[in-house]
Structure 1
């Protein structure tokens, strides 16, 4: 195994700094004592975190985003797992056409999807409902989940299933005891990516959300339009903190490498 040279280590370090710097700046601005976005600041303060208590709609929108993202990711996986396994493991007429159809939301701008959903929901009476919001998010995140499931299922050795079948295992047993455990990393990665994509979705959601189903990104977008102050940085800092805590908990309970790559702890 070759070791990275000094130039490679410097490049990797600069790349990590490039990725982390925006988040660090947002977190630093969240602690400013000024009434405006300022860095460097004249002093540190928690005033903007306390101010969040004056805006309960942010917490309400967070709960909405959390529920919609969970529902969308779960529903997307329920469809993506069988669809991905079928496309990755079998050859049948129309396979490529079906795959292109499933991937088509990736080729459409989200603003086009938002307008289309708005018109469609208005016609069928789903405009401004949570169900309509979840359906729209499922359409958007489904391709991400299915691509990862296909990638995970393509590397499976079918001889393992043949061996289990020769020993008398039924199709249900093979699916439950062999196929599903082998694609757990793909399912976990698909769920995580779908959840993040749904939670962060703004463009399409603006068109289909209502005052009672406003997600957190839309709430933040609307707030920035009216005022620019460090309150948004405080919200962003809390989201970053929650993400870090979630990653640590998952790593302690299961192991991120095992969860997303499929390898056990060394």
Structure 2
């Protein structure tokens, strides 16, 4: 078995430190008793975590992000599954162009998408509506779910489906008993990734969100413009810890490698 040499281990260690250092600094600053963003050196305090509960705007924005992420991810996966089936199992004219169209939100800057959505929603008179916010989130997270479902279908053996059809199974039975179970890792992974992308989205949401439909990242963005106290650091720490617990729970129940990579 090949082992990593000292240079590779050093590079890996530096990469891990580089990735974790910003998170550790933010979590450390959230424990400061000071009124300014600073690293605590002599004492620690939970005052800024208590301040979160005393700020109903942050609490409502958090639940708005949760509901929006769940609904948007579910809608995106409901669209990604039939789209992936059509692209993976059929060859037709314009297939590659359609793939490029579906994945185009990955390469378009979110600032451009935000301006375009704002202009479009103004034209159709749904500016500031929850439906418009949901539709914009579904569009930008749809490619993530589609790619993972396509990967799961590509890895599946089409001979299994043909065998089921040759044994007399109907199209619906083949999908329900054969195809969809093979897609579950991609669907589950796509849903989680889509939810995270929707929950974290701020650049595009700034243009289409309103005070009544403000998500947590947008609320944090506006709060930083007005104040420099550590409340934002405490909110970020809560989000980091909840994300870690969610991924740990998913790993224990289902397995991240199976969900994201498709291992059996």
- In structure 1, what is the equivalent of residue 74 of structure 2? 74
TM-score by length of 1: 0.94
C-alpha distance after superposition, 1:100-156 (max 9, x if no partner): 111222232211111111122122221111111000001111112112222221122
Segment drifting more, 99-108 vs 42-51: 99-108
Distance 1:122 1:4 in 2: 57
| Moved segments of 4+, more than 4 Å | none
Distance 1:231 1:126 in 2: 33
The number of residue pairs the alignment matches comes to 264
- Does residue 120 of structure 2 align to residue 123 of structure 1? no
C-alpha distance after superposition, 1:78-115 (max 9, x if no partner): 11111112112221011111111112222322111111
- In structure 2, what is the equivalent of residue 103 of structure 1? 103
TM-score by length of 2: 0.95
Distance 1:262 1:143 in 2: 18
- Does residue 253 of structure 2 align to residue 246 of structure 1? no
C-alpha distance after superposition, 1:2-32 (max 9, x if no partner): 2323332232222112111111111000001
The residue correspondences of 1:151-230 to structure 2 (distance < 5 A) are 151-230=151-230
- In structure 1, what is the equivalent of residue 114 of structure 2? 114
Distance 1:94 1:258 in 2: 32
Partners of 1:185 and 1:258 within 8 A in 2? yes
For structure 1, list consecutive stretches of 5 or more residues without a partner in the other structure: none
SS at match of 2:3: coil
SS at match of 1:203: coil
The residue correspondences of 1:42-57 to structure 2 (distance < 5 A) are 42-57=42-57
For structure 2, list consecutive stretches of 5 or more residues without a partner in the other structure: none
Distance 1:170 1:3 in 2: 51
